[in-house]
A and B are shown apart, each in its own frame.
Chain A
Amino acid sequence: MNELDKKTPFRVPEGYFEGFDQKIAQKMDTIDSKNGFKTPPHYFQKVENQILDQIKFPKTQSFSYILWKTAAVAAVLIVFLFNENTAFEKNELAEYFIEDYLISKSIYEIADHSDYQFEMGNLIDHYESIALDDALDMVLYGESPTNLNVFDDE
């Protein structure tokens, strides 16, 4: 008795237990056991794709669209900035466009689509302690950090 091999002599096909759960789940999904109705294999995966193929979702803004919009904003800015006769209006409008642009796009999106490399060194060397408003003035008036009075309070 002790010499008998306790290992079961029964065998299963190779890989039988792998994916067994999935097979059972698949079978349960495709047969309604209460009334005997069933679906073709993998029906629910297929129908999902078929439905999605028939639906037109609104397109999210593509990269080229964002570039185009950015270029349009830049063009408008240039027109206003180089027209000296309308100094007051140009500043107001330019500010509006910049603010609108900054509000509508996250900082990451702006950075992604800009040629300028935002390196910490660049920022710290030239723009240390410059507020966002001052940075905007620099864009608007063409001032450089050297002639910008950053110490108004003194």
Chain B
Amino acid sequence: MERQNQFIKALTSPDTQEIAFNKLLSEYKQRLYWHIRKIVIDHEDADDVLQNTFIKVFENIKNFKGNSSIYTWMYKIATNEALNLLGKKSRQLGISNEEWIEHKTAQLESDIYFDGDAMQLKFQKAIAQLPEKQRLVFNMRYFEEMKYEKMSEVLETSVGALKASYHHAVNKIKKAIHE
């Protein structure tokens, strides 16, 4: 925690801000990108969200209270930014976020930035059919292997509710794959 406080100090001090931010960027860009990408599916959208996330981090670092780890805080911003983008895109088409995701996942086969095999494609289509919260929880638990406690901080949901969501999601995916 002491090290984090020092790092936050470096991020807010004009003399060291640039160096500290560069460090933050190179350390977390990939992890945040893959988290965002699983939410928005499309690379271009993930790119927009990643850039917005880091800009928001820079603009709001002075308001960071240090109650959680900086990574959890950034993860939260990234998740909100990704969901905001989904909301914006789906509203433009007059459809729900879930419908937008299903639409994007249906295009994965022809997406040059998707390299998965038939099974991975089927898997993604099954995930896309989940309600938004379950999809988030499933991605964070299954792919990112995030602990429920950490997930609870990011999604502001109790650990019990997250476990239930994951359980439901797994059952739905199994069913969809075996159909």
Contacts and interface: CB of A to CB of B under 8 A. Distances in A.
Contact of A37 (B22, B25, B37): B37
Contact of B17 (A37, A40, A50, A58): A58
Contact of A39 (B18, B21, B25, B33): B33
Interface stretch (A9-17, A27-35, A66-74): A27-35
Contact of B113 (A38, A54, A55, A57): A38
Contacts of B115: 31, 36-38
Interface string A51-90: 1101101101000000000000000000000000000000
Interface residues of B, number: 31
Interface of B: 14-15, 17-18, 21-22, 25-26, 29-30, 33-34, 37-38, 43, 47, 50-51, 54-55, 58, 113-117, 120-121, 123-124, 143
For the residues of A in contact with B, the DSSP-based class is: mixed
Contact of A36 (B14, B25, B55, B114): B114
Contacts of A55: 21, 54-55, 58
Given A35-B143, A36-B114, 7 more contacts: A35-B38, A36-B124, A37-B116, A51-B29, A51-B55, A52-B22, A58-B14
B122 to A, nearest CB: 11
